[in-house]
Structure 1
């Protein structure tokens, strides 16, 4: 039976970083927000900040440390990373990171693989504390986590084996992600050719709003629709005799051309206020801000899936004149090269890309008859359906590869097979690709 030692006896948990303290206030260090923390080649170390700008309110670390995200769902996503190549050898980042500094008796790569095992992730999830959506893994869990006491030579053999095997799996995952990117590009091109033929090669009409073909007649969306304002979500609203509980559509529910209604939250409002912000079937909903400028402006059609649904003020509800505009035609246009270019070009960039109701109403809509619009919607929906099926298949393969990767790591680290005898044969066989 393999004996174990608590992690705190072989590594430092959230230690100080003397190398950071030795830097001058104006020296640059690597900066790691949570969105930049990804395993393997996806780790982004390109950001820089001065020491004085991160001296308080940030987690500090140095080359050779392992960063373990503490908050849900990032922890469960197994995004722990071994850090190396930091500018000045030190960095600062999100306070939602635990720092583990391996001691001399533990190989850093072996320890990192331990943090990717099923047992570590399941045990950590069980120890989380806090409210739903903001739960965190305590540092006591890390300090008390049992680590198998193997010789350094054996640890390195396991790490070398897993380096080689996970590299094969990672390569297959990269290929699948590349395919997803290519699929998205082809999808946008295809639906653009359906609704605005030739737009990709169109000469600019002007310097204020470019990229539309000169012979394409358009009309301002404001002549065909209006934008309904939503409710402000806060806890300071005074009680009212008309108060009632209503479901409301949040920014998180609006996912580009589709709606994610798996979690519907509720809000208490006066009935009169709710009626002014209630969605109707046929409304096109879109968010006013997005971290990715290419996704800003994409909208989904509300079909009345939930009764008496109001919408948040950060979600636009575009109500079209059905005698002039088909809602699904507008949704298709927003997803095309035309729609994405318009909102990227007109967006305001302050941390994230944002737009406004006036810019939404200024959106140029190509003039089509209702019959032409419906025909285009039919082609658009066929393309979207085919793309969704392919996207789902690729995403499923990525899930299988990740599960295979985690199972392989767990089996190797916990001694379920001998890595010495396993080396030299393809243990990734059987992975669906």
Structure 2
């Protein structure tokens, strides 16, 4: 069986399924979510290794009935069709119960003669993921529409029994890979928790020893930036670019998280980013991503501040790294959580005047540099360890996709593979 588009055994999805569609955000957005009820699946719940429900939202039975056209059934395959997670796929397991989806998740319901597990694996294969990536090239950056989903070509053996054998093999083979991925993700989480505990303890100790002052007492000012219409592409070093929120929202500055400023648009030089600038996220759909601080390191790129970021100009003698570490600590995050405005499902924002109320330990001038370096060493060691694990995770994800692709396209000799497993 060929894995190429249009090759033998390739079928358009629309010819082998009974449903391609998605839901919507309920009226009222996040205000309509409840503590329990019918599960409302969003793109963050859809992952290649399966559905993750640790932060699943719930809607009421009345809303679910109003959205009955997007009810989810066991055996459905869910595909993320917008955003950074575009292309992620998960199968709805047996006996899943009632659920619904929003507009960012597409329901693909397999027809007769199509094994739902095989369909999910086929959509996860390099063949289909490359088709999805190709559809996003150029100006088509908004995601996939239902017609494009229906025209995706998947490798599909005509015999259902062969689909089932391939799915059985992948279920067994990937179980150990997914277990290892889960273990490594827990290692990363533990590293972050340990770092947070160390920094939180140090910040609390500094506050106890030296007292604290509101951030506005040690700044020269705060400003938000500018967000003109930009090209959704990486800028060359000689071109200007406007930062995305994701340049800061991880707590580590990423100079490549930007949008290219069109060549016919003049940059507003008031918002040029300089190395050492203290930046904070001003708004996001997730409360955890608002009020996150990072110190700019432009790597020589020509970057501009966006209107969903703040720049805090500190008084001389205050290291931006020290203040960023304090803002990222657990005591400060708890304070920030009380200052946020907006609800889940909407853009949650932090006002500039509220940023000024964040408490900073009043460290004596002669100790600020040393304490900033001390916290930086702690953070760097934990980040370095986490990155090593993330690199091994990337290799596991590559192995997972390669195995899936080889199996669903017939390039893997399945009987021999089963012998190797045995």
Q: What's the TM-score once normalised by structure 2's chain length?
A: 0.79
The reply on whether 1:388 has 2:383 as its aligned counterpart is yes
> Which whole-Å CA distance do the structure 1 matches of 2:22 and 2:15 have between them?
17
Q: After the TM superposition, which of the residue ranges 330-339 and 36-45 deviates more from structure 2?
A: 36-45
Partner of residue 411, structure 1: 406
Give the alignment partner of residue 109 of structure 1, picking from 117, 121, 127.
Answer: 117
The alignment status of 1:31 with 2:40, answered yes or no, reads: yes
TM-superposed deviation, 1:376: 0.9
SS of equivalent residue, structure 2 residue 316: coil
- Structure 1 residue 92 and structure 2 residue 100: aligned? yes
Deviations 1:206-240 (A, max 9, x none): xxxxxx64x551122222113322245367xxxxx
Which residue among 142, 160, 164 is the counterpart of 2:168? 160
Map 1:189-200 to 2 at 5 A.
189-197=197-205
1:49-92 deviation per Cα after TM superposition (whole angstroms, max 9, x unaligned): 2465464698444332212223354334x33433544544xx43
Q: Name 1:302's counterpart in structure 2.
A: 296
Alpha-carbon distance in 2 for matches of 1:264, 1:16: 29
2:193 to 154, 177, 185: 185
Which residue does the alignment assign to 1:81?
A: 91
Secondary structure at the aligned position of 2:291 is classed as coil
1:139 maps to which of 147, 150, 156 = 147
- Which residue in the other structure is 1:261 paired with? 255
Give the SS at the match of 2:390: helix
Deviation at 1:389, TM superposition (A): 1.6
The aligned counterpart of 2:320 is 327
Partner of 2:305: 311
The match for 2:53 among 39, 44, 60 is: 44
The corresponding residue for 1:63 is: 74
Distance 1:269 1:61, change over 3 A: same
Structure 1 unaligned spans of 5+:
18-27, 200-211, 236-244, 428-433
Query: Using the alignment, how far apart are the partners of 1:281 and 1:409 within structure 2?
Result: 44
Instruction: Name the CA shift for 1:305/1:130 in 2 (closer, same or farther; >3 Å).
Output: closer
Deviation, structure 1 residue 253: 2.3
**Is the radius of gyration larger for structure 1 or structure 2?**
1
Whole-angstrom CA distance in 2 between matches of 1:146 and 1:269: 42
What is the aligned length?
A: 388
Shift of 1:37: 2.0
Answer yes or no: is 1:399 the counterpart of 2:381: no
TM-score by length of 1: 0.77
Counterpart residue number, 1:379: 374
Deviation (angstroms), 1:402: 0.9
Q: Is the 8 A contact 2:22 2:70 kept in 1?
A: no
- Which consecutive unaligned segments of at least 5 residues does structure 2 have? 3-7, 24-36, 230-238
Distance of aligned partners of 1:310 and 1:111 in 2 relative to their CA distance in 1, 3 Å threshold: closer
Q: Is the 8 A contact 1:13 1:142 kept in 2?
A: no
SS of equivalent to 1:227? strand
Distance (whole Å) between structure 2 residues aligned to residue 15 and residue 363 of structure 1: 45
> How many angstroms apart in 2 are the aligned matches of 1:405 and 1:279?
39
Distance 1:258 1:159, change over 3 A: same
Q: Match of 1:289?
A: 283
In angstroms, what is the RMSD of aligned CA positions? 3.4
- Mark the CA change 1:317 to 1:128 in structure 2 (over 3 Å): closer, same or farther: closer
Within the candidate set 343, 352, 359, 1:350 is matched to 343
Q: Does 1:219 align with 2:224?
A: no
